[in-house]
Amino acid sequence: MRVFIVNLKESTDRRQHMIEEMKKTNLQYEFFDAVNGKDIKNIEEVYDKESAIKEYGRELKLGEIGCAMSHLLIFKKMIEEDIEQALIFEDDIIISNDFNKVFSEILKLDNNGIILLGQSDKKLKTKIYFQNIAQHYKLKKIFNSGYGTYGYIICKKTAEKIYTQSFPIIRPIDQWGKWWKIINISVVIPNVINCQDEIASIIDKTENRARNFRNESYCLLYVFFRKTYSLFKIIFWCFRDFFYIFLP
């Protein structure tokens, strides 16, 4: 398994941070030069601003586009070099002391999708079934949720699927909720990879990703129907999620 650490060339402090963190592991690794969004020439060839606003609710920041390109280029490398499995880290992480123990057990599994070693969705939705992997660590499938590319294992088939369906870029690369219906995505609980708060990541993962809707003149009738519609959506989502929890 190849191990890649996504890192901007000029971010020498983060590179040194990762060199120290990786001493906790038994892994051989290589740094992968991240793409700086502001350096992308002819950005319209890889990013569709109009579709991003329509599908995601706002245009993407240059950092988000650069982050997406960085991970997608690793996927491309996996395809071209026939890399069956890759472990990908970002450069602002903290590695748990239990990492080696958990990782050695994960290697025994047949991974045909993505295994998230860490993620940052506080409303993460997981299925009821799980697999014990080491002591109190479990592997659970996620659905319709999950984001964060701090650290994950991905197989070549999945990398190819995401790569071929991600251009033009219209959303951040770490939106795992987009893929769960066509890709097997699992998460290690509790996480063995976490984001270090005091180090700014390639993209700001704590940014408010709420959709930016245009200003409207709200009247009482509009508010009433909007609230009613939202209530029905919440009820529907609750029933749907309850159903998904029990799917294998």
pLDDT at 224: 66
What beta strand segments (E) does the chain contain? 2-7, 30-33, 85-90, 93-95, 114-118, 126-134, 137-142, 151-155, 185-189, 193-195
The CATH number of the structural domain formed by 2-213 is: 3.90.550
Nearest 5°: CA angle at 245, between 242 and 248?
Answer: 140
pLDDT at 79: 98
Residue 220 one-letter amino acid:
L
Domain boundaries, the chain: 2-213, 215-248
On the question of pLDDT at 239 being above 90, the answer is no
| pTM, entire model | 0.81
Beta bridge partners of 187: 116, 140
On the question of pLDDT at 247 being above 80, the answer is no
Q: Of 65-69, 183-187, 205-209, which range is least confident?
A: 205-209
Region of residue 167 (phi > 0: left; psi between -120 and 50: alpha; otherwise: beta): beta
On the question of pLDDT at 172 being above 70, the answer is yes
